[in-house]
Structure 1
Amino acid sequence: MAENSLLQNLYADLTDQQIIYKILHESDQLTPEALTVAKEELAKRNINIEQLTIAKETEEIQEKEYANFKLTKTTGELIDFFKIITTAKEEGKSDTAIVNEFKKQGIDDRISVSLIKEAKQQCKDKLDKIQADLFYGLIIAAAGTAIVFFSERFSKGSIIVLPYGAMFYGLFRLLKGLSDLPLQKKLKAVIKSF
């Protein structure tokens, strides 16, 4: 009984999300008593774990269906889908409008939703890459330039080649990031529209 009281206090201190995570993802690591106490705590908070379990199972099925869909498509076809989605978002179309457009092509709603999620993630990844090119390009170019300056100043006539590589690599990344600034602005607008 003391163990139950301890478990009740432990789960009472956890957030809803923490308890749900334990039940849905770590239930095999919980004792039967701990699992019962966790479910009772959610019931006290008016959270229906059965609905959450069904939602998780549905999500897993959707992920498998999407993975199977992607296996049936070429890389070029997937890129075309993502272009369609980003163009539609640039035009201000809603997710529902995009799903309906894909439905006309015979693509299931759940697959369409997964395509939209992945397109959003790809936009975020590309934006992160542009920002990384700008940031790291500037840092590497500055460091390389500083090393070139000090090595030439204090090397007594010998030239050290390695810092030039760092300087040019940093400049390359910086220029690439700068050339992608218009795309960065466009990606930010597209991501906001998701």
Structure 2
Amino acid sequence: MSEPMAPAPDRRPGGRTARIRAQVLDAVRAELAEGGHESLTIEGVATRAGVHRATVYRRWRDVGGLLVDVIDAAGETDWRPPDTGSLLGDLTALNREIQESLAVRPSLAVALMSASFHSEQAAQAQTRLWADRYAQCAVLVERAVERGELPSPHTDARALLIAATAPLYHRLLLLRAEPDPDQPERDARAAVLAAEAGAFTVL
């Protein structure tokens, strides 16, 4: 059953409101990383954040609202795709970021992914965040085309990015393998070779 949609919080609150939002979202991240979605409660977040629970209820309404705001806040950060001068270098750097975020214990990235399976609100926010990240990373493919690294300007950027990054999620999340420092480059190289062969060219 879908959860009721909480109203979207203000994206750039100032003064005391900004401080309270920062305290609460920091508390949500800590609670998620330590105990996962199952142990996340308004009361626990309020206590950790040092604010009254009525403040949390009034602004975020429920756990789903808290999750949405944490995920949306991730999209507000000034993140930029890598720019190393080559497609292989860019994809390798991107994979290293991903591996680090998944391998750290406890991992907030993993906790948020898990939470998205329990909350429709979180799932929708996660989808928006991923769509935004793919759109940002399309520039990696655009630059590669401009440098002549790829045979066609009609390369499907999202398909290439998925091919480069998905093996990391498979190994670390599904197989629970130990992080391999060489894996980010190996996976990136496999995707680049496939792209050079035209595997992601769309007609």
With structure 1 as the length reference, what TM-score do the two structures score?
Answer: 0.32
Higher helix share: 1
Tell me the TM-score normalized by structure 2: 0.31
**Relative contact order higher in (CA < 8 Å, ≥ 6 apart):** 2
